[in-house]
Amino acid sequence: MPPGSGSVERASAFWVALRGLALLSIAGVLWLFLSNTVLMGTGDVVRAVSSLAFWRSVYLSLTTSTVTTVVVIVFGVPAAFALTRVGGRAGALADNLLAIPLVLPASSVGLALLVAFQWPPVLALQDAVGFRVAYSQAGIVVAQLVLAMAVGVRAWRAAFESVDRRQEQVARTLGSSPARAFFTVILPQARHGIATGVVLAWTRAMAEFGAVLILCSAIRGTTDILPVAMLLDVNAGETERALVLGFALAVACAAPVYLSSRGPRGERDRTSGRAMVRAA
């Protein structure tokens, strides 16, 4: 046997095993979706998309997810950047607190929100305003917000940590203010990671179910976003219509992920030098 042939054979077997596991995973995903199409005929699809309830759920899901994502961007991007500048125990504590919604069941988050908004001082404030969050469309945004914020901040913090801080320091030595350095040096370099975080936050909000169900219940015509509408249809024996809703939700979540993967994949900003000049 030629020297080294054994190691080559072991390496080949290793890669064959890896490819086999990858193909098995892909086959499982394909089976999951293709098996559902057996129960869903063309007539079921036409009836579902022709109903007002279908488009109301689509509109409600898109609207609440978009509003949630805008709020997450406004508060989450600065919070993520601030976390990259906080070290020690304070930074670790803040990071762990923001990560708690990621490890908790969504239903637990929804229950915590329901109890929080029923707390007497908060309840009195809502009554004074004349509006209650629980069992309302605003509650959908609140439930989506908690979980989407955790996902977005995680992604944006990683994006900011990948930025070369030396370029920021150069901009500062050239007379740039912290705010100007942030907008002209740091943000352009982290833009691809920020875009990824936006997509993750939006899809997380779009697919949220457990927290919305606990905080807002399943009310037809009021809180029936796509995941909740699926539950209502299954309970009513309309499995075929629920499958159509499920595929609509899958497309809505998969499309932005696919489109974001078609863009640049996290390379550093090739115009960062010009960005520093603008900052100065």
Domain extent listing, the chain: 1-38, 42-279
Beta strands in the chain (DSSP E): none
- In this prediction the pTM is 0.79
138 residue type, one letter: A
Q: How far apart are CA 119 and CA 162, in angstroms?
A: 41
Q: CATH homologous superfamily of domain 42-279? A: MetI-like (1.10.3720.10)
Residues 6+ positions from 255 with CB-CB distance below 8 Å: none
Identify the residue whose tokens are 């944006």. Answer: 156
Tens-level pLDDT at each residue, the chain (280 residues): 455 555 656 667 888 888 889 999 889 878 877 776 666 667 777 887 888 888 999 999 999 999 999 999 999 999 999 888 877 777 778 878 888 888 888 999 999 999 999 999 999 999 888 888 999 999 999 999 999 999 999 999 989 988 887 877 787 777 778 788 888 888 888 888 899 999 999 999 999 999 999 999 999 989 999 999 999 999 988 888 888 888 889 888 888 888 877 755 444 444 333 333 333 3
